[in-house]
Amino acid sequence: MSLPRRQTKVHPRTWASGSPRAVWFITSMLGGWAAAQLVLWTFEIPDVRLGLQLDAAGVHAGEYWRFFTHQLFHVNALHFLANVLVFYFAGREVEPIIGRGPFVALCITAGLLGGAVNWFALHGGAVLGFSAVTAAVLAAYATILPELEQRILLFFVLPVRFRVKWIALPVAAAAAVALAMGDFGEVGPAGILAGSVLGWICARSLGFGRQSWLQRRKAERRERDVRLARMDSGEFIASEVDPVLEKIAREGMGSLTRAERKLLDLGREKLVSSHPENR
């Protein structure tokens, strides 16, 4: 008989010992700039934001630091909270798994790529926010831990459970719709799409996620090559060469495929190597 749910032991995550210091630093930095932006809003001082946001005038003037600084400001409080909360909760899981170096590299690359893509997609329109980096970290999270269950209180009241794999794709889809409709330009939907793809590629390049058909074929081919190389000449001829010889007897030499011809060549090499006197 199984234990009641509340008595079931919760197994600790094996990666929990890693400290997500980069996540804490970036979250703290964004929080500090959010406080600064609140002060600017309160006293109606837009000059600082206008000097740091990513727009055509700044890029044409050679102010390339805007590809970094535009990430520090957000359109409104909802934009800021969505970015910071998702980044923090996803990043604290991803950083200990992939390591601080790759995590920081992912964040920097996603920020620069997202800014560049937004700038081209919006024809130089103003872009603000950390959305591209958040999307990249979220996509990496969904690729690395797709079956991990998350629980949240919707509107701080309604409990909702979902698996991580079901959150990254809707975010990318919503960004694609917003980009097609021309909405939410300052939020940077093109950058969100670029960040999502980058996060997925990063996680896949580190060996996470399901293998594609091509990757499975390559793995099967490597395993077969290793297995054939370990066979002695007798085993190889009995299991691989004899069926090819039977096919030649039935259908002729012209019916052989390239792979079957390679098997014959390999069988010949094994025979020669096992009986060097027959060379």
Query: If you write DSSP's letter for every residue of 114-154 in order, what string do you get?
Result: HHHHHHHHTTT--B-SSHHHHHHHHHHHHHHSTT-EEEEEE
Type and span of the H or E element at 159: strand 158-163
* pLDDT given for residue 187 in this prediction: 65
Do 248 and 260 form a contact (C-beta atoms < 8 A)?
no
* pLDDT given for residue 215 in this prediction: 65
Q: Which long-range contacts (CB under 8 A, 24 or more apart) does 88-92 make?
A: 88/23, 88/27, 90/134, 90/137, 90/138, 90/140, 90/141, 91/20, 91/22, 91/23, 91/26, 91/27, 91/137, 91/141, 92/20, 92/23
3-state secondary structure of 273: helix
CATH architecture of 16-205: Up-down Bundle (1.20)
Structure tokens at 120: 């081209």
CA atoms of 271 and 137, how far apart (whole Å) = 54
Domain ranges across the chain: 16-205, 213-278
- Amino acid identity for residue 156 in this structure: F
Q: Which sign, positive or negative, has the C-alpha torsion 262, 219, 106, 198?
A: positive
* pLDDT given for residue 211 in this prediction: 63
* pLDDT given for residue 109 in this prediction: 94
Report mean pLDDT in 10-residue bins for the chain, 279 residues: 38 56 91 81 69 75 81 81 90 92 94 86 75 93 85 68 81 84 72 92 84 70 79 80 84 82 81 64
Burial readout 240-260 (b: 16 or more C-beta within 10 A, e: otherwise): bbeebeeeeeeeeeeebeeeb
